[in-house]
Structure 1
């Protein structure tokens, strides 16, 4: 394929958009979408950290360090490399926004490692997506995200409250500005060795986990079989549990399976005209502890998952990582494959989080 030839002859600097020097490190980062180049190639925007191979969540920048994450017991942190890529597809505008924050506690450094990654998939515009991109993580931190000793229950409570505060303030802003748009969300926080995943809507997170171990339960790196584990639950108006909740709130599901016959998802930020008939922004939140079996997580908007199945995406990314050992290149190629080869017609955005054990 033509774009593979371009990859082979280009450097990362030719493809990756650098973070603006004026960007606030405490807020999310988003670049413009793909553009058609004179030679017919498609340029996919991505975000590349200056220290891509190290986990910048820890003060000394080492990929793995000793850190006290519970009581007096020291734990070696798993290193993290992450990047994002986006393409507007056949749409006239890009309505997605994303976050790549390997050091999400830069403003208030504490003893607990914190990293944050997210995709906000806008519909009807991108104001809601950009608002959530800027405000969700600070609201989650303000709601009590643990920064000293890991407390899963407290973390989940803070995330749910952060979603509530963000949607509440967004609705106030949208009323003032007469916004009508909304945004679904899929978010990951890495706190010490605990991964917490939250989603509202139809964006997904998929974990690639090794299924091969030796006799003592240690991951066998000579075997490459990875299992795709979907970490999120889709929220669509047509699903029985969501339909029941919507009907109890006074809303209805049209013959096309949409809320009030208009919107497919049943949970999202914004969309103020649907909030009184069952649309909510409350996320599903799940957590797990990182182990050596966990290789990477793919976050994707519904455009990506419309042309990639979970196992298909994991297999594709695994192949790219074997070839390049680069999260930046792998995620860029994933989005290019989705749009250029598989003809994704929607906005397409992906975040790839690779664990360095």
Structure 2
């Protein structure tokens, strides 16, 4: 999404690479290992505030920090599409992805769909991984994160035998840190300065972990009561749209404070040094000294019969879709019995063709079903 995030309004940089292809676990394995072979938000905020779907969008524009709302007490057609599924522990997980470059000259989003994300790391617990990396100023940082982040998270000790939430979060934090460290080294030697935001999901056993940096978002669709419906496709009542991520922009108070302490300046246009809109991202080497970080917000929740599906989207999707609006759109298509790959394509098509999204647009729909 380079022009918007980096503030280069007059001109878009040429793309570094072509559009993303389907991503397999082989892309993540190092050469050495290849040789061997609407209304709530789940988060860990200390002072949560409950907002409606319409209110959370208004708050994001006004201040950003307030977009994270209530704590769930149970938690401590120029497109490319794919559909995958995995069944364990009584839950079938299906996912589909679609992308469209919109009015941009280049596509700087990349995505990951790994229903079996264990690679060659042993473990008995289900491990699935889904992610969207939204590049700006180029595509190299997004591609680098796509290839290295999950492997670094596994290497940092993502638990695969006996799930420990604290250990899992620590592994994800370390994976982000290591990936950014290696990316910065690569960018120096390669002479490139682009960056990438990220929204990532790991499903370990029946626990879902969400990590994000920047302005990509994850939204959960949840039914009101545990026994309200046996199958989400038969739902008559709207599902609750739960924002799972916190947006990171330089203009928001908490982010601005960190930037100013690092010697950076947030200009009147809300951009760091007058150029960069987001305050957390992979890469962006020239802005790291001004407080830009790749430290993610991480949240978790348990899969139950109330959880129906998730939507991951880059900021292009959420510029034309409200959270409750997107959940309602997907719920309607699920009720019609459409496959998740078709639903993801319809969602992106609606955003670009019908709602005039001008930015790159990528969406992943993850559906949870009882086996």
Q: TM-score with structure 2 length normalisation?
A: 0.78
Relative to structure 1, is the Cα distance of residues 18 and 164 closer, same or farther in structure 2, using a 3 angstrom cutoff?
A: closer
Q: Are the structure 2 counterparts of residues 18 and 161 from structure 1 closer, same or farther at C-alpha, using a change threshold of 3 Å?
A: closer
**1:298 pairs with 2:299:** no
Shift of 1:321: 1.2
Give, in angstroms, the shift of residue 43 of structure 1: 3.9
2:152 aligned to 136, 139, 149, which one? 139
**Equivalent in the alignment of 1:149:** 162
Equivalent residues, number: 300
1:277 to 2:290 alignment: yes
Tell me if structure 2 keeps the 8 A contact 1:128–1:270. Answer: yes
Are residue 44 (structure 1) and residue 75 (structure 2) matched? no
Displacement of 1:27 in angstroms is 2.8
- Mapping 1:51-200, distance limit 5 Å: 54-55=85-86, 63-64=87-88, 76-200=89-213
Secondary structure at the aligned position of 1:298 is classed as: strand
Where structure 1 has 5 or more consecutive residues not aligned to the other structure, the ranges are 1-16, 29-41, 56-62, 65-75
TM-fit CA distance, 1:24: 4.8
Is the 8 Å Cα contact of residues 26 and 107 (structure 1) preserved in structure 2?
Answer: no
Identify the match of residue 357 of structure 2 among 325, 344, 352. 344
Cα distance in 2, alignment partners of residues 316 and 259 from structure 1: 35
SS at match of 1:338: helix
Deviation per residue, 1:62-109 (Å, 9 max, x gap):
x34xxxxxxxxxxx3411000111000000110001000000003224
Q: What is the distance in 1 between the residues matched to 2:78 and 2:287?
A: 36
What's 1:37 paired with?
none
Q: Contact 2:83–2:340 (CA<8 Å) still a contact in 1?
A: no
Offset at residue 26 of structure 1 (A)? 5.2
Partner of 2:254: 241
Contact 1:235 1:266 in 2 (8 A): yes
Q: Once the 2 structures are TM-superposed, how far is the Cα of residue 180 of structure 1 from its aligned partner?
A: 1.2
Matched-pair contact (CA < 8 Å) for 1:249–1:277: yes
Q: Distance in 1 between matches of 2:146 and 2:159?
A: 20
Structure 2 residue ranges without an equivalent (≥5): 1-19, 30-76
Change (3 A) 1:349 1:18: closer
Instruction: For residues 98-125 of structure 1, give each alpha carbon's deviation from its aligned partner in whole angstroms, at most 9, with x where no partner exists.
Output: 0000000032241111000000000000
- Cα deviation for residue 219 of structure 1 reads 2.8
Q: What's the counterpart of residue 322 of structure 2?
A: 309
Measured on the aligned residues, the alpha-carbon RMSD in Å equals 1.7
Deviation at 1:165, TM superposition (A): 0.3
**Aligned counterpart, 2:47:** none
1:205 aligns to 2:215 (yes or no): no
* In 2: Cα distance, 1:344 partner to 1:250 partner: 35
Higher relative contact order (Cα pairs below 8 Å, separated by 6+ residues): 2
For the residue of structure 2 that corresponds to 1:25, the secondary structure is helix
On the 8 A contact 2:145/2:179 being kept in 1, the answer is: yes
Q: 2:25–2:114: 8 Å Cα contact kept in structure 1? A: no
Offset of 1:337 from its aligned partner?
0.3
What is the distance in 1 between the residues matched to 2:337 and 2:191?
46
